[in-house]
Chains A and B, each alone.
Chain A
Amino acid sequence: MVTHHADAARAWSAAAAVVDPEVPVLTIDDLGVLREVTVGDDGVEVVITPTYSGCPAMDAIREDVVRALTSAGFSEVRVRLTLSPAWTTDWISAAGRTALKEYGIAPPSAAGPVSLRLSVKCPHCGSLDTREVAHFGSTSCKALFVCRACGEPFDHFKAL
């Protein structure tokens, strides 16, 4: 019989491999959405947290987590949402930031929201000569930018 300890590590890996449906280069682990995986006698409990309160991807993530753990051989999978501590962009891992940039989304700055606007680097050409077109972008977590140097529009994962 496999111990709970080994099971917990395996359950974490299975859940951690689930990707964000809207930013499919990021796993929910990289994104900091996956908070806890516990294996007990009565099944597996996974705790996730939304990036934004109304994030519609949470339902898809919840289903994907159940599917991933079920395929990994677990039964009685429960997914619980928590709001505390509140998610911030600081929860995105270094690997996640690199993946975002390679995907063409400018990663958030580490400092959180800043009133003094710092330049956002264009993920296409690396220029700092960019401007914000709109504060709100294709999903809750992104703002729309355009690069003055190469002319390309791009999403910026905004700091929260």
Chain B
Amino acid sequence: MTDTEESSTGQNPDEHGRVELSAVLLSDEFVASDTPASPLVAEYALWLGDDALVLAQRLGDWITRAPELEEDVALANIALDLLGHARSLLRYAGSASGRTEDDLAYWRDEGDFRSAHLFEQPNGDFAHTIVRQFAASHYLYVLYDRLRASTDPVLAGVAAKAVKEVDYHRDHADQWMLRLALGTDESRRRTLLALEDIWPYVDELFSDDSAPIAGADASEPLFDALEGIAVRPSTLREPFDADIAPVLAEAGLEPPTAFHAAGGGRRGRHSEHLAPLLAELQVLARQHPGASW
């Protein structure tokens, strides 16, 4: 926030380093809805859209670096699906404030992102990425499976599409969890370590806590106000645990319970990992506004 304010008032010697938002023309891109989202629905769409966007960006890093060519392709495909979800959701979120999906992806700062910490966790070794995928795709599956019944037609439409794609992501993660956990001593050692590192971030996914939302009644919790529209995160814990249990049992793994990370992503408080990710995601759009290729 402060960076943007300073750079817009100060003199910057780099002609590309200073950007006037009003001068940027961004195309109207993805799935349209005639009805703009309310501020509360927009907040929820931002949660889901940011989760998908941040994870897509992380997974894209594996392209040309995965353990085998097929994994390059698989992780890129998964990232592409997630990017598709992010585009629809951010577009819908932006409709509440007259912003486009690109405005939201490229021109928001770290504190405005609502993604949970799980998604911004570094790729680590392949086991870390797979454990993160395992948690993420099972969570997204149980979430979208229920969001299909939303009374909001845009959220229901995105969910109905996404759930089928995430089903493939879930299967991909399950197969790798089994292969890594039951593979060699080294692959099992790394999987156990990854589980210790990643699992503390799982709890945040099921927290109903939200930031105060401008223009909304602060005394009413977000998920009370969005009853029937959003899926209350705390209700997903049980189906999530049930969904992962058979895979963990077959893999001979126990989810660690030693400690839980503080969370705070839904309030815009992030770990040290998000800012560098956003810098890479946003640099081109900010240095060359309106660039296309």
Which residues from chain A sit less than 8 Å from chain B, CB to CB? 50, 52-56, 80-88, 113, 133-138, 140, 144, 158, 160
Contact = CB atoms under 8 A, between A and B. Distances in A.
Contacts, number: 82
A55 B78 contact: no
B74 A134 contact: yes
B84 A52 contact: yes
Nearest to A87: B161
A62 B158 CA distance: 20
Interface string B1-39: 000000000000000000000000000001110000000
Given A54-B83, A83-B157, A136 B78 contact: yes
B74 A83 contact: no
B interface bracket (residues with beta carbon within 8 Å of A): 20 to 34
Contacts of B55: none
Nearest to B31: A81
Given A84-B153, A86-B164, A136 B32 contact: no
B172 A136 contact: yes
* A-B pairs with lowest CB-CB distance, top 8: A53-B84, A54-B84, A134-B70, A84-B157, A54-B80, A136-B74, A136-B77, A83-B157
Interface in B153-194: 153, 156-158, 160-162, 164-165, 167-168, 171-172, 175
Interface string B65-101: 0000010011011111111110110000000000000
Contacts of B73: 134, 136-138, 144
| Secondary structure class of chain A's binding surface, majority of residues | loop
A83 B88 contact: yes
Contact of A53 (B74, B76, B81, B167): B81
B157 A56 contact: no
18 contacts: A53-B84, A54-B80, A54-B82, A55-B80, A56-B80, A82-B157, A83-B31, A83-B160, A84-B156, A84-B161, A85-B160, A134-B74, A135-B171, A135-B175, A136-B172, A140-B80, A140-B81, A158-B168
A115 B279 CA distance: 41
Contacts of B87: 53-54
Contacts of B30: 81
Contacts of B161: 50, 53, 83-84, 86-87
B198 to A, nearest CB: 22
A105 to B, nearest CB: 16
B113 to A, nearest CB: 20
Interface string B137-152: 0000000000000000
Contacts of A55: 80, 84
Given A80-B32, A136-B78, A53 B172 contact: no
Contacts of A144: 70, 73
Given A83-B88, A144-B73, A160-B164, 12 more contacts: A52-B165, A53-B84, A53-B87, A53-B88, A81-B30, A82-B31, A83-B160, A83-B161, A84-B157, A85-B160, A113-B164, A135-B175
B289 to A, nearest CB: 20
A88 B70 contact: no
A53 B78 contact: no
B153 A50 contact: no
